[in-house]
Amino acid sequence: MKRTALNGIKQIKDTHLYNLESEDKEYRISCDAGLYFRVSPKGKKSWQVRFKDEIGKWKWHSIGAYPQLSLVQAKLEASTIFLKLQQKEKVLTKKEIELQRVEEQQLNLKSLMYDWLDTKKTTWAEITIKKETQSIEKRILSVFGDLDFTKILPQQWLSFFQDMLRNESIYNRVEKLVSHCRNAYDLAKFHGQIESNPLDGILKYLDKGSKGNMKHVSLQELPNLIQSIRSYRNPHTAIALELLVILFPRPQELRYAKWQDFDFEKRIWIKPAETMKCGISQVVPLPQQAVYLFFRLKEIRTISDYLFPSRDSLTQPISEATLNNALKNLGYRGRQSPHGFRHIASTALNNQFSDKEQVIEACLAHKKRGVKAVYDKATHLDERVRVMQWWANYLEQITNEINLD
């Protein structure tokens, strides 16, 4: 039955509605004051009520599918809604009612993720908590935050993370986010909220990529890279990059470093616990070449407490993107990352000092595990002074050699 056949019919009945044909575009038929019958291009039929909400904005409210909800029942449902509106009650959509239920039962993903993050406060450094929370909020909760986590299907997660990988190629970040979500679901399992984890085994089916945060050149290429860094147009960034080479800290440790963290008389950098991945303060001996760079930095320093403040705010440090972009501008896109300098140093030091594994681990600020974490309280400071100075001397030697060629 064509909808044009309804023209002139004073009282629409169920038989009319049941026989209505679909069209190329959806259409609605008014069946009562504010009550509409909707027909989709695929022939699906449903009821909608149109009214103005509390701020005077027109709103479509779905009340059910046809023929499950008959014409008489739809009119009754519509009259109930308009009675609520007259009494200044808020009319919630089915989606809003479901969200309200989920929030009341704390079944939304947002609640679960924050509960899980709360369990990490005793093991993660404050800066790590902040960084991972921001990443989860931006990439996960902005999409799934209000949803009932017990109803997010494994195929939804697979499609979501696969799209993220293929669109942005952020392999390491995706692996971390998958790990965070999987661990949060494990927490829900222990709370009896779910029986199985929808993220178990998902990494086997995601695209594989290189470990982007550890990209690094070979030791033979390092002298040319150092020379390029020294010629970089921004002296602050150039010094930051060279300090990453000499001291090989985690990039965030250098970015958040403040002048108050240094004792240049004793030639040490005291990294505060809140900037460290393991949440434990560390003393770093400064080789002569690093001290020279710090004094150069002092000559051009701003009034900020940070060694390397942001261009937009002296109360904030530079972002890791600043260091990444500098390396890209130097022609090392996809070949060297700020974090990759740690890998270069680790390889070289382990080759040179194969009998000093614990000393090198201390230089890299790796957290000790197992029995050693309990009984080995030594920081190997005296040995680290010699190791760090050897590394700085070695860098100076191989860089000077290319100048002589």
Task: Give the span between the Cα atoms of 203 and 180, in whole angstroms.
Answer: 13
Contact partners, residue 133, CB within 8 Å, separation at least 6: 117
End-to-end CA, the chain: 90
Residue 237, C-beta contacts closer than 8 angstroms, at least 6 positions apart: 308, 318, 322, 323, 326
Stronger pLDDT, 220 or 210, i.e. the higher one = 220
DSSP 68: T
> Does residue 236 register a pLDDT over 70?
yes
pLDDT the model gives residue 373: 37
Q: Give the fold, CATH level 3, of 222-404.
A: hpI Integrase; Chain A (1.10.443)
Lowest-confidence region among 114-118, 211-215, 260-264:
211-215
List the one residue out of 198, 188, 162 whose CA is nearest residue 108: 188
Overall pTM > 0.75? no
Backbone angles phi, psi at 167, to 5 degrees: -85, -30
Mean pLDDT of 313-338: 91
Question: Residue 10 has what pLDDT?
Answer: 81
Fold category of 106-209 in CATH: DNA polymerase; domain 1 (1.10.150)
User: In sequence order, which ranges of 8-153 are alpha helices (DSSP H)?
Assistant: 14-18, 71-86, 94-104, 109-119, 126-136, 142-144
Distance, CA of 300 to CA of 309 (rounded, Å): 12
Q: Write out pLDDT tens, residues 127-185.
A: 888 889 999 999 999 999 988 899 999 999 999 999 988 887 778 888 899 999 999 99
* pLDDT on residue 372: 44
Task: Delimit the domains of the chain by residue range.
Answer: 3-91, 106-209, 222-404
- Give me the mean pLDDT over the 369-376 stretch: 39
The Cα 402–Cα 20 span in angstroms is: 84
Q: How confident is the model at residue 313 (pLDDT cuts 50, 70, 90)?
A: confident
- pLDDT, residue 105, reads 62
Whether 89 shows a pLDDT value over 90: the answer reads: no
The CATH number of 3-91 is 3.30.160.390
The rounded distance, in Å, linking the Cα atoms of 373 and 133 is 28
Confidence bin at 376 (pLDDT 50/70/90): very low
CA nearest neighbour of 286 among 396, 387, 398: 387
131, 213, 217, 294 from 338: Cα distances, Å: 17, 8, 11, 19
